[in-house]
Structure 1
Amino acid sequence: MRPHTSVRAIRSIQRCIRQPAQTQRPTLSQSLRLPYTATRAFTTTPTRPHNPSRSPDSTVDPTEVSHFNALASSWWDPHGSSRLLHLMNPLRHDFIASCRFNDPMTPSQKLKYLDIGCGGGIFAESAARLPDTHSVTAIDPTPGVLKIAEGHKRRDPLLMEPGRLTYLNTSIEDLPLPTRPEEAYDIVTLFEVLEHVNAPGPFISNLLPHVKPGGWLVMSTIARTWTSWLVTNVMAEDVLGIVPKGTHEWGKYVNEDELRGYFAKEPGWDGASARSLGVMYVPGLGWKEVKGGEDWGNYFFAVKRLE
């Protein structure tokens, strides 16, 4: 990384975290409910260009859509720009299994998944192949990556079975709400998405109704700390180049305690059941569990909806 680039980045971070002396800092739950801006200011409406083709309440960031459209062609290259997502996928399944270990399904029950921000379908495909899966619905607002996902799906006859894996080019705001509990999903996943939306609080509020009573919301994201900035923005993007430049915006990261505070106050959710797991990518070794890592870097988070 060039010296002058580093100086600009550090000054940018300093501007992000500086609080006016006369301004009271919002509580953690308030900060999650409010949308982010580029300077981490707490405002009442998302700062994004208007797009008449989307819901006026959409939390989709058009800049993020353009960024991931540009990466679409390499989504299924295990050595390409999505390499870290491929390597993380087994941990995703392990974490879901750990959440459900003491919450077993009935013998005849098969799981319905909703994968939000599915990208090219790395997790969606793997979930659809599991023997205890009934169906996977995977949504993404990025048409380029969904085209790749659809094409890759056609390589596997199992995934082409009616209802097994369905891709929808839509945002969560435009996905029809379930009218009956059985229409909702047992597992709603949100992997590496929360740090790419304009307003995490409203975004999460829109997806909650899609979780079946007794079901789980499972996600992975990144804590907003100096360590995460050094690891994800400086090392991963600028120095090692293992993540495409512009993938991460530090000001959009969400801390684990912010999520816990949100669900502790959100009606209908078992905040006491919330689980988290810190993880870290180690070059040459892949993703590893790191005790306490949820406080400073990448982490998984899950919470159960009350029966």
Structure 2
Amino acid sequence: MPRPSLARNLRSASRPVLRSTRSLPSTSFRSLSTSFPTSSTSPSSASSTQPRPPSSFTTINNSEISHFSRLSSQWWDENGEFGLLHRMNPTRIEYIRQKVAFASSSKSSASSDGAPEWTFATRHSDASREASRGTGAWLTGLRCLDVGCGGGLLSESLARLGGSVVGVDASESNIGIATTHASQDPILRKKMDEGRLEFRHSPAERLRDQGEMFDVVCAMEVLEHVDEPGEFLKCLGEMVKPGGHLIISTISRTPLSQLLTLTLAEDVLRLVTPGTHTYRKFVKPSELRRYVHSSMGGFDTWYKNEDGSDVRHDEVGETRGIVYDPIKGEGCNYMFHARKRV
């Protein structure tokens, strides 16, 4: 919970900047155009690629941004509007650790197919390597992007784990909250001063068009709020460096998610403001995996899964479901991960 002085600062930083009626267009995930519009300026660091020519294309839905801007002062109230996300954050971090820390710790001993090389001499060290994997600042040396960062919940966690983090959000008031909250912590303030934690009021497409690249690209609970979800996914994928990771959290379009997320969480228990979610914008895991295969390069661009799920020849990535009980103050979604080929 924020200190009283911080709470005042957060409220003053949270004025909404967009006003519009909340009419959501019907968007079909599977009937998206394969064209990918381009836009803006120049690379900002050595971790960027050739910039694209300017364009005004964005997948942002202004009514969604207006809705979340009105709620932005509540981001750091663990018992408020975003309490569900506070509870989910440790689960998100653990999933990222399992995917990213393993890949990083295996780098030096990896074989040509990306798997750790096993030998008789090292067989007894398997358990100790597993135990030490992902401890301490395991994101050190990695550049991370948090798209739709909101008040900075995930961004702050990634920065504390050693990552060099850029959090972007289309709501200026959200960026104000994220910046204000992080600046109250001496450790995070030092990271901000050094450029290892920054928050930008920007659509994801702008970073993509500037040629910026990242080792880890995250978009948590964003896919179900954008227009043109396929184009949004392509944008995220283009910003993943070779060998890097794309990690997404979103809600599946099932009767269970409708019951938990809409009926219970929004309409009955009012844990979330009614109208926050729209059922037809939810994406099923199989739809997401098939889209990455058919429209984002398939296995020519992304590694096959390490487990048996890669027997599906027309789907890319792993999805892992997370179901919470909203009566106890929790929500319902799933995680997606894919690693880009080197």
Fold match by TM threshold 0.5: yes
Q: What is the CA–CA distance in structure 2 between the aligned matches of 1:185 and 1:155, rounded to whole Å?
A: 27
Larger strand proportion, structure 1 or 2?
1
Among 316, 325, 331, the alignment partner of 1:282 is 325
Is 1:248 aligned to 2:270, yes or no? no
| CA 112–238 in structure 1, closer or farther in 2 if over 3 Å, else same | same
**TM-score (structure 1 length as normaliser):** 0.75
What whole-Å deviation, never above 9, does each CA across 1:201-235 have from its counterpart, x for those lacking one? Answer: 01111122211100100010011122211211111
| CA 39–96 in structure 1, closer or farther in 2 if over 3 Å, else same | closer
**Which residue pairs with 1:49 in the alignment?**
none
- Structure 1 segments unaligned to the other structure (5+ residues): 1-35, 46-53, 289-296
Percentage of pairs with the same residue:
39
**TM-score (structure 2 length as normaliser):** 0.68
Q: What is the CA–CA distance in structure 2 between the aligned matches of 1:43 and 1:256, rounded to whole Å?
A: 16
**Which residue pairs with 1:96 in the alignment?**
96
What is the number of equivalent residue pairs in this alignment? 251
**Which residue pairs with 1:167 in the alignment?**
199
Q: What is the CA–CA distance in structure 2 between the aligned matches of 1:207 and 1:276, rounded to whole Å?
A: 17
CA contact (8 A) 1:177 1:210 kept: no
Q: Secondary structure at the match of 2:302?
A: strand
Q: What is the CA–CA distance in structure 2 between the aligned matches of 1:150 and 1:41, rounded to whole Å?
A: 33
Cα root mean square deviation, aligned: 2.5
Q: Per-residue deviation at 1:172?
A: 1.0
**Which residue pairs with 1:51 in the alignment?**
none
Matches for 1:61-140 after TM superposition, within 5 Å = 61-100=61-100, 102-105=102-105, 110-130=141-161, 132-133=162-163, 135-140=164-169
Q: Secondary structure at the match of 1:114?
A: strand
Judge which range, 159-168 or 58-67, deviates more.
159-168
Q: What is the CA–CA distance in structure 2 between the aligned matches of 1:280 and 1:303, rounded to whole Å?
A: 21
What whole-Å deviation, never above 9, does each CA across 1:140-192 have from its counterpart, x for those lacking one? Answer: 0101111111110111122122112100100011125465xxx6211100000
**Which residue pairs with 2:180 in the alignment?**
151
CA contact (8 A) 1:139 1:168 kept: yes
| CA 177–298 in structure 1, closer or farther in 2 if over 3 Å, else same | same
Q: What is the CA–CA distance in structure 2 between the aligned matches of 1:245 and 1:301, rounded to whole Å?
A: 26
Q: Per-residue deviation at 1:40?
A: 5.3
Structure 1 runs of 4+ aligned residues shifted over 3 Å read: 39-45, 105-109, 176-179, 283-288
Q: Secondary structure at the match of 1:147?
A: helix
| CA 279–129 in structure 1, closer or farther in 2 if over 3 Å, else same | same
| CA 176–100 in structure 1, closer or farther in 2 if over 3 Å, else same | closer
CA contact (8 A) 2:27 2:281 kept: no
- Structure 2 segments unaligned to the other structure (5+ residues): 1-23, 34-53, 109-137, 306-316
Q: Per-residue deviation at 1:44?
A: 6.0
- Higher-Rg structure is 2
CA contact (8 A) 1:178 1:184 kept: no
The amino acid of 1:279's aligned partner reads I
CA contact (8 A) 1:269 1:303 kept: no
Q: What is the CA–CA distance in structure 1 between the aligned matches of 2:141 and 2:27, rounded to whole Å?
A: 44
CA contact (8 A) 2:236 2:246 kept: no
| CA 157–195 in structure 1, closer or farther in 2 if over 3 Å, else same | same
**Which residue pairs with 1:299 in the alignment?**
334
Q: What is the CA–CA distance in structure 1 between the aligned matches of 2:66 and 2:328, rounded to whole Å?
A: 31
The amino acid of 2:201's aligned partner reads N
Q: Secondary structure at the match of 1:300?
A: strand
Q: What is the CA–CA distance in structure 2 between the aligned matches of 1:213 and 1:38, rounded to whole Å?
A: 34
Q: Secondary structure at the match of 1:104?
A: helix
Q: What is the CA–CA distance in structure 2 between the aligned matches of 1:92 and 1:229, rounded to whole Å?
A: 22
CA contact (8 A) 1:128 1:136 kept: yes
CA contact (8 A) 2:215 2:240 kept: yes
Among 219, 232, 249, the alignment partner of 1:190 is 219
Q: What is the CA–CA distance in structure 2 between the aligned matches of 1:278 and 1:73, rounded to whole Å?
A: 30
Q: Secondary structure at the match of 1:201?
A: helix
